Structure 1
């Protein structure tokens, strides 16, 4: 027997012309959690405003259902995972099983008068849950003869799959010197740590994700009676900080920086860098180039103080609206000449004695402090003459619109994870 779920959504008038139900994403990683969002449901085709009911036609599987979500006051409908395991505990989503790695079903859209305006066959494919790719230790130094149980650092694993959990095992403890307790590498026998006899020891750590995939790495622990300071070079560096609040700066090359514990300041400098703040309230500045920024836990600040160039925009992987902040240096905007809205331009002319007919730099339009609400819009284009910052939520792209109206080609300056919530309150000009 076919199972179904029905929900109502406000849409443009569906009309009678080849309307099609769409799903924004068609893949899901194997062994998902119940409630995992597969994709947003929509309808393409001609029409104006009309309510529609969606009906999920899912023959006997019971894997999916349609649910509403509200984002910034806008109601959307999504396809989510309803059940992920069968009665015997086996997975209902298995990449290696041809019978469980793709699912075909139909979703129909019905208009106000009860007429089915679209029924579309859709397929969701299951992708493989891959093994973790890297293990790092938050601090790699320990004072000689440290007490048993002294925490050296926390273990972190990186995995391409979202929502994985990890289990760590020490397969080589450097002759009984170290152990793993609650995800931390600790001293097992401090009497075996002697700086004069050995300045470092190697351990081997195995990490297993929730799907049973394993990655193994050799890690080096330095024995010292002083803080181990690491400086970047002109090459492509990979630097990890200590458990304190650290500062990395003036680096060149394509660098990878890990903040880990503490409130860290990570400056990528030149090159296409990868910055990971991880724990703490961190400040990340990719510098020049196309950089990947990940704040991790805490309230993080993403700083942009280099002149923006077409095609050279950074990617923030995990921005949290209302918690994290985006800081723009006004000096980085001087190259953008805009035709400000008449009222704004007249006000600027009075203050700075500008020619009332001339264009001005965006550094003159914006003020130090928070972004004014009138200069920001969420959508695919500007709505009036002063929407200079445009955010397209579906793609996660932030644009600068040089005329504020959408008639000129906007310039990409920043990319967030698609679907991320973003508000004018998240911006600060410095």
Structure 2
């Protein structure tokens, strides 16, 4: 796919002397964006933090780089920027020696016009002893924001992760720096913070030795008041061998979040990108780390995730798998409920022994194979004890209850559930085949005979049924629901006698044979098609059928679109009324009016 560019590549910084690095960008509500970066020597001292705002057309708001920090002594670096609910934004950064000791975390808030709300840099951390570095900032829905950082020695052992919450006016919610990590042994650094849909937020970080090996990725989530959801640090990575680091967290539309990280071996000679997806309750979507990067060669690093409007997300990272470093991406689908069930076979011989397999059920779920989702199955209706479920297989439970002379089919109901608890239910009709005695003894259901083709009559229910014929001349009534009809061998009849509806009553015929199989249409539903009955079906008039994408004449009541395989009923032909989809067939069938009968 070719993605069109808007304009050409443009340089953000106006001043080009020395280095401009460590960019951070945020999108604004009006369609514009703000970019921040650190620039070496531009503010008259060492490194300083600058910004530029762009409108929705990419036009810069200023002809010059805009200095963010007021104090320019020593270094200001590691900027992070986030847009606020009122159209403004906040920039945080590390400033060297400004708080009187070493590194400190500072911030400045700007209104929607880019005007600073303070004449001085605002110190974030309360404790100034030691270094405070690596700030991350996220905006809250109430107009406030949260800043996290790493502080050296404050928790009694090397670096620890701290946080502060600010209201919409920039007033700190906590009188002291709030420690995020519970375990303080070793080093906790590299924090990332993101706001959640419920007003709370999640913080992730990397911790040395806590998972039993080297660095591991941990998280904690907080409610809107800053109360932790757990009394312990929550380990994100399942595999603990080697180093897990460079973590980043991103919120999803459904209230959950994604954590991405790089997993290195002990010598940092190989790195792969992994992720884990959590629901709004902090429950992981997969029992294992989910591999994002699929090419085994090269060093992967610096993963970032971005949520999409459809509920999915994109993960990006850098990799030198081709020699030079390049940026790669992988898109993931959103968490979706199972949306369908299939049964691989739905015919069983009468009197079949217990444990005889009938078929395997398979749930249709977009997340299986992408985010580690796992499906489980439950048999809700076992047809009076005739069938049972083993994993995903439907087996005979009691063959003595499978008597063709008593019933030619039985209905079961299966539920598929994903890891998030989303479920889908569907009914299946299981046909019972007769066993005729070919040895001269009486006919019917006697045991010990050889199966011969039997003409089955299969009727669906109001649910979405799967009806499968056998080797005889079968008659299949889908009835209401979105059914899947398979005639099998023989000359099979497909009967439509309920009002069609594209969303709730549209059947699929999987194996329609023009040479052998007719379609019967009930004139109580399809009133323009003429006379006929089930005992004496009437042939459809040639003028009533058309192969086209729509009706061409006033009496084109049945239309087959060979490009899509859809069969339509149009009660007023080429009039203003809308055609209704009856069934889905194979494409490019050589259908004629002779394939249809009126009952």
- Short-chain TM bin: 0.3 to 0.5
TM-score by length of 2: 0.29
TM-score by length of 1: 0.39
Larger radius of gyration, structure 1 or 2?
2
Relative to its length, the structure with more helix (as a share) is: 1
Higher relative contact order (CA 8 A, sep 6+): 1
